[in-house]
Structure 1
């Protein structure tokens, strides 16, 4: 079968740590099938391919295979655009890990290539398809909090050097808390409140080096060359204003990952880095109450974004269908790039991209 039938055949490029989460999903969803694996580390690619009944290829070999409908691009962010473009030239669909590309210019070119070639292109994160964000979305759409007026999105953690044996990337341009974790929170905000029109940002890096805390490089000092604390305001097209704080410079926080205020109430939204979690509602003058799960894919995991493109009809003549579209990935990337540019210039940055608010996900097991 191919992408126009009941199953999408996947060629996975990059078999690093994140691939394990995708492989679990591919193994349990009938809609997905792994057929080929490529990685710069041949032994790693061979191990994955053997375990999942696929073949090992180099990139060119994988792109040339007739039994690959979509390239699952799990390479490092700096290679995202290059690999996605190569897949598009080969006539393949693409699903790329976040961020969509290393910068907006590269991402815009990739999206234009996909549109000219009329191929499907999707982007992580797909955590917003789970029951957590979608239950909150259903409450919003039902008017449970009235008109949304504002939101806060908060991530405050010590940083990855305490547990990651090679954390260098997180403190270089293209890394940092915003580029690393921001896509989860910003994709959720766009899903809940719609696209962003302009941003105002501020940023800092209070330490110019970090000390690795685990692995063979324990005690090694690494330089910090990108902001490790970013905050900003997002003006949504619908009128709501979101405030975001993304930080590797704190210890912990009691703040809800995402909280949305409305004219008649408020919603506490679970961690958008996960697919599920508890949604709480506080109506004006009433205490907080947990909401039952009412929308989204139950038990979802990374890779559901690829299946959703199939289930939504993206392979049935309209490659723009589906909720995890490349336009969404590019828009979120521009929001992040805009926050950093605003922090540097001290001026608001107007977005040049926009996106339709993704369609809600009815309650389903997928």
Structure 2
């Protein structure tokens, strides 16, 4: 699968570190609104050309576009790529609004092309080992889950953090995809949500880089909580914050009738999975039993190259998670329970396999 990458910002470095080891995937072109960044990304990579955005989308040597633009541009770039008859794999979130995401899927169906959506971290051994434990009945019937992400804010380390604090950013749309993709992978799709959110500071101060000390406005909520009602009947409680300092909570915990499961950080591919069985003496670490070993960003593209339209990190999953997140925000302002109109298949499990990709 010949990849053209649009967007050569911070996240692109992680994809570039992976490409050479991914089976079935070849990077052939890169583009960015800043031509110098595109040139820097292509430098030293044999056969990779630095192009303009329009030039890359039209290039006949590119059959799939990796969209690493800022969230506000995801849907627009996806639609342009689809109109050119190419597959597209978008960084998270799938789009900013639910309507934008829906338009991307409709356009892809009409054009007969494949759409994928990050994050692909759920394909690693961390989430997949937890998935295998649930499927094997180790914790009985799942009843509830908690998903917790607390940080004082990305402006402390990111030199260009503006997009984190506008609609399409915030802790939910930025970090929520990792946690909700994992929850859907573990517990299945979501039928309804209830949410609440707050915004404590009207501006943030950039903590690093050439703009250090500059203040930027905050126009989206920065602490979000929600209850997600899964179609299975399980209830997930979500806490996403750019306001809090730290937490001792496990990133994700799944509680069942026969035990509780601690799931590692869904922003990582690996990590320790542990279980506390009913009547047990404490937490027991489970061996790695599923998932791509030593995976890193881009494994979703290899999965897409191998499985085609049956890819696990699908656009349908990305759109479902996007609607869930926007519904949580809508509920937080309306005070109402919001029903989710979309659904998706629980992605196929990944058997334990080593693609020898770098961490």
TM-score interval for Structure 1 and Structure 2 normalised by the shorter chain: over 0.9
**Which residue in 2 is equivalent to 1:309?**
304
2:324 to 335, 341, 344: 335
1:55 to 46, 49, 60: 49
Give, in whole Å, the separation in 1 of the partners of 2:230 and 2:164: 28
2:154 to 134, 137, 160: 160
2:240 to 238, 246, 254: 246
Pairing of 1:264-279 with structure 2 (within 5 A): 264-279=258-273
1:363 to 337, 352, 356: 352
Root-mean-square deviation (CA), in Å?
A: 1.1
5+ residue gaps in structure 1?
A: 1-7
- Call closer, same or farther: CA 1:217–1:67 in 2, change over 3 Å: closer
Say whether the 8 Å CA contact 1:152–1:258 is kept in structure 2.
Answer: yes
> Which 4+ stretches in 1 moved above 6 angstroms?
none
Give, in whole Å, the separation in 2 of the partners of 1:118 and 1:165: 39
Give, in whole Å, the separation in 2 of the partners of 1:78 and 1:213: 23
Say whether the 8 Å CA contact 2:203–2:215 is kept in structure 1.
Answer: yes
2:214 to 210, 220, 245: 220
How many residues are treated as equivalent by the alignment? 353
- 2:143 aligns to what SS in structure 1? strand
Give, in whole Å, the separation in 2 of the partners of 1:344 and 1:184: 23
**Which residue in 1 is equivalent to 2:291?**
296
The answer to whether the aligner puts 1:208 opposite 2:202 as a matched pair is yes
5+ residue gaps in structure 2?
A: none
The answer to whether the aligner puts 1:14 opposite 2:7 as a matched pair is yes
Give, in whole Å, the separation in 2 of the partners of 1:87 and 1:249: 36
Taking structure 1 as the reference length, the TM-score comes to 0.94
Offset of 1:222 from its aligned partner?
2.3
Offset of 1:177 from its aligned partner?
0.5
Offset of 1:204 from its aligned partner?
0.5
Say whether the 8 Å CA contact 1:198–1:348 is kept in structure 2.
Answer: yes
Give, in whole Å, the separation in 2 of the partners of 1:26 and 1:178: 28
Pairing of 1:83-232 with structure 2 (within 5 A): 83-232=77-226
Give, in whole Å, the separation in 2 of the partners of 1:226 and 1:65: 37
2:74 to 56, 80, 83: 80
Offset of 1:116 from its aligned partner?
1.2
Give, in whole Å, the separation in 2 of the partners of 1:296 and 1:350: 32
- Call closer, same or farther: CA 1:118–1:75 in 2, change over 3 Å: same
Q: Deviations over 1:107-163 (max 9, x none)?
A: 100101111111111000000000000000000000000000000000011111222
**Which residue in 2 is equivalent to 1:5?**
none
Say whether the 8 Å CA contact 1:201–1:339 is kept in structure 2.
Answer: yes
Give, in whole Å, the separation in 2 of the partners of 1:42 and 1:86: 20
Give, in whole Å, the separation in 1 of the partners of 2:243 and 2:135: 35
